Chain A
């Protein structure tokens, strides 16, 4: 029991996360000591000698104890103090980057490609402001740039391989999968491809890839602009968890001198709400912190609910941090609008029918006290909010009703 708590705390600690990413040799030993399965969610990415061209850390999400997606998120904005994170990043970030370049230069052979995609992706991923999907998009663009393919077909196959390896890197991340898919769609769907010679076609592809990366990168800003019309003076906004988009939205609103106040949920178990309240306090926005169970209690004061999304699914519903569904239900029953801010690369071709109909993304939960081993703990990290409880989605494609999501998805994917 004791061990369980320590483990939970250990998992949460940023040092573990960063260490884990670096794949320190003594790391495995420690994990062994902690009886953690060896099939760790993080790839042996930076070990250059690793002959495995396609490391698949998450082959079966069911066997994994923790979702890699949430690990990344925790690394980016968990309870980690930001200066510590900056330090850690400064410490860790440089070395692997050099290594990556070296690895790219050393093994330029096509067999090394998927390997380097992951590296590239990991490099991009280290920027806390860059979403995982955007990092993947950037990494894939780099694949095209570094490709030594001589035909379009070859290039496409290479790209496909790279995106597959990225996707299998973390099967629990919806936006990663969706971002890769969308990139493939966007980049390879150029009508003029067949009429050009390979080099110009390749430059065109690179152009498109860069453009897509730019669009994805700017998506947050676009969403923030679009949502300004909906935030009025004197309103009270309830937010759940920490979402970079929502933060951007609120930041823009605060900067344009709007007067509003924000209710932040605590965002258990990783208490991401605390971090958001910190950020908002820095912007001089009045913030009130609620425990997650006080949502219904304070809903009558709330004018609108703003949430982010891990993924937007085909039905128009969203998959988001645990607790979103119940907030949406409460808001719906009190006739408060629920707004979702989500970039279009989070649109995924998934269609969950109910809460259990998703790939599980598990996350350890710390209760502070020992939990008897007979007691089962629900460790699922996210839930699914059906479209009928959502009012509008703010995306970089525009302000959409939930039913339009599927229209956009059909147009994006088919």
Chain B
């Protein structure tokens, strides 16, 4: 790869995520290159340091329970217990031979790698748990986590020469294991040294090597110690975990390291949890990504090439996971079929649009609640919340959640938490179901109706309305105004690659609305005849920024320059208290091939052969942020408000959102 990208890991200072002193393992793990790494497509994988395909659910801070292997039955807040994953992975191997598309060989990494070296690649793919399970040491008892140290360590040592000889291929596996070893004891004083050990592998068995050796020895010692007194450590640790952690994920295997560094690190960890409420995972934070990947259900293959500025966002190879997930359907016992179905629909893009996604999710949850029965020795509020969290993270893996969905989830969890303990199980369940129904009804369906009422009062005879993309509320506004007999014309502005405007256009024309269709390139040309611009929004943030389909900002700015009022139609449940200034920090990356390729046009597919070239990066952003200055009015279920009043709604009705 080009020098810029290759050098990127080296200057990286920020180590927000975890205590691991070794910065290297993340890319290698996710890349899962085979040890020989001589095949051309794979050899560049470490250098590209693409990250794991998994997202962690926003509110969770997983630094604690990461080291712990979840028990299958346990209600983990994390997406997936390992055994299922393992099975899934195995199945994956078997299945992908058939379903695997040869054309995608270069892009789809994980299947190929899993063919290369079975044991190792599995190891690399999923970290320590596979190792554990392979060596038959997976046990539900607490100390078991410590047992697998010796094998891991020994592998690491065995592989060391390999690393020295083959610095370019970087002996992915080797690094991974090293990381494993060093991550576990993780004494603080090792932190500055460790990166050097992994980052300068060239010198023949020098300082770095020795240090690595030392490290592993120390780890071994620690492991031995832990084996000697596993029970106490475990109990101490688990107690501590219960104190520090909100989620009571049962600690199956507790890292020795964690128990060793009780004092200072604990507070540090607490602090970290406090000051980093990152709502979204930063995908350039390798350690976190690595951890997230371990618990993923969806084996999303990460894209090889990613645009520099957007590394913190997840980018997956599109089209590889669907078959994979479908095949896993029968294995994933704890995943409710309704959840699974909706997740797959997200993944395939069958459900899109903020409201549709949110309703689908809520209805799936409703199904879950209906079929739910509290396991023995559990309480419904806690167990159900945990379950829902795990489902949410599954959804997140399928497609990053929209902010409106986040709000809906927050509402649901709040309702569950506020359930009166005196209620019987069936009563609580029905109460939750009605709450979900009410949310859908009041916050979405009725809200839409109110918005339509308000917005269509702004449509006057002789208006020329410009709409962009396809927003269902805007469509309802147009149709309602048309039904009211108002004489107006609509200009549908559309953009590649989704071309959602065509569907809208079709529906409008079918109803007899006068329409003009154009692409966003022509927006400055058509704007002079426009009298009002109606836009939808995925979310409206506290500073009035409108977060919406990419291109919205462009349309709004052109409209502003032409002094055309820009009206945003957005339900209040999509308001979010976050503040965002640009479209970079938080966004979603779409399939980069979608913008590189033009379907059905052979003559313009210039990028067909260069799309794999190292110096071409395709960026397909899904959303953008429109500053409040360009928005004249936001039509919401509380009426027509200026963008400056969004925080008021958020403040005044936050409680309302949660409690209805």
Contacts and interface: CB of A to CB of B under 8 A. Distances in A.
Interface of A: 314-316, 349, 351, 353-354, 357, 387, 403, 406-407, 410-411, 413-414
- Central interface residue in A353, A387, A403, by most chain B CB within 10 Å: A353
B429 interface: no
A353 B633 contact: yes
B565 A353 contact: yes
B520 to A, nearest CB: 23
Nearest to A414: B638
Contacts of B641: 314, 351, 406, 410
Contacts of B567: 353
B458 A357 contact: yes
A410 B645 contact: yes
A406 B469 CA distance: 29
Given A353-B532, A353-B633, A407-B648, A314 B638 contact: no
Contacts of B638: 410, 414
A161 to B, nearest CB: 23
B639 interface: yes
Contact of A406 (B460, B532, B565, B648): B648
Q: How large is the interface on B (under 10, 10 to 19, 20 to 34, 35 or more residues)?
A: 10 to 19
Contacts of B458: 353, 357
A393 B639 CA distance: 22
Nearest to A388: B629
A9 B648 CA distance: 49
B642 interface: yes
B644 interface: yes
A413 B639 CA distance: 10
A88 to B, nearest CB: 40
B640 interface: yes
B645 A407 contact: yes
Nearest to A315: B642
A357 B632 CA distance: 13
B649 interface: yes
B652 interface: yes
B290 to A, nearest CB: 45
B450 to A, nearest CB: 12
Interface of B: 458, 460, 532, 565, 567, 632-633, 638-642, 644-645, 648-649, 652
Contacts of A410: 638-639, 641, 645, 648-649, 652
Contacts of A357: 458, 460
A403 B645 contact: yes
B644 to A, nearest CB: 4
Contacts of A316: 642, 644
A406 B642 contact: yes
Contacts of B460: 357
B565 A354 contact: yes
A252 B280 CA distance: 56
B532 A314 contact: no
A406 B649 CA distance: 10
- Which of the listed residues B532, B565, B633, B642 has the most CB atoms from chain A within 10 Å of its own CB? B642
B332 to A, nearest CB: 44
A315 B639 CA distance: 12
Contact of B639 (A314, A353, A407): A314
Contacts of A413: 639
Given A351-B640, A357-B458, A406 B645 contact: yes
Contacts of B644: 316, 403, 406
29 contacts: A314-B640, A314-B641, A314-B642, A315-B642, A316-B642, A316-B644, A351-B640, A351-B641, A351-B642, A353-B532, A353-B567, A353-B632, A353-B633, A357-B458, A357-B460, A387-B642, A403-B642, A403-B644, A406-B642, A406-B644, A406-B648, A410-B639, A410-B641, A410-B648, A410-B649, A410-B652, A411-B652, A413-B639, A414-B652
Q: Across chains A and B, which 9 residue pairs bring their CB atoms closest together, nearest first?
A: A403-B644, A351-B640, A406-B645, A353-B565, A407-B648, A315-B642, A406-B642, A410-B648, A406-B641
Contacts of B633: 315, 351, 353
B635 to A, nearest CB: 9
A337 to B, nearest CB: 19
Nearest to A387: B642
Contacts of B640: 314, 351
Given A314-B639, A387-B642, A406-B644, 20 more contacts: A314-B640, A314-B641, A316-B642, A316-B644, A351-B633, A351-B640, A351-B641, A351-B642, A353-B532, A357-B460, A403-B644, A403-B645, A406-B642, A406-B645, A406-B648, A410-B639, A410-B645, A410-B648, A414-B638, A414-B639
Contacts of A403: 642, 644-645
A200 B19 CA distance: 67
A414 B641 CA distance: 12
A356 to B, nearest CB: 8
A354 B641 CA distance: 15
Given A315-B633, A354-B565, A349 B642 contact: no
B535 to A, nearest CB: 14
A354 B530 CA distance: 14
A407 B647 CA distance: 9
Most buried by A among B458, B565, B645, B649: B645
A174 to B, nearest CB: 15
Nearest to A353: B565
Contacts of B632: 315, 353
Contacts of B639: 314, 349, 351, 410, 413-414
Nearest to A411: B652
A350 B516 CA distance: 31
Contacts of B642: 314-316, 351, 387, 403, 406
A142 B484 CA distance: 39
A317 to B, nearest CB: 9
A413 B633 CA distance: 18
A71 B217 CA distance: 96
A353 B640 CA distance: 11
B579 to A, nearest CB: 16
A407 B639 CA distance: 12
Contacts of A414: 638-639, 652
Nearest to B641: A406
A59 to B, nearest CB: 18
Nearest to B648: A407
A136 B639 CA distance: 25
A347 to B, nearest CB: 13
A353 B458 CA distance: 8
Contacts of B532: 353
A406 B633 CA distance: 11
Contacts of A349: 639
B464 to A, nearest CB: 14
A181 to B, nearest CB: 12
Nearest to A408: B648
A413 B644 CA distance: 17
A392 to B, nearest CB: 15
A145 to B, nearest CB: 32
A314 B652 CA distance: 17
A150 to B, nearest CB: 33
A19 B299 CA distance: 84
B436 to A, nearest CB: 24
A325 to B, nearest CB: 14
A95 to B, nearest CB: 42
A407 B640 CA distance: 12
A185 to B, nearest CB: 14
A411 B647 CA distance: 13
A357 B459 CA distance: 10
Contacts of A411: 648, 652
A21 to B, nearest CB: 32
Nearest to A406: B645
A407 B649 CA distance: 8
A315 B645 CA distance: 9
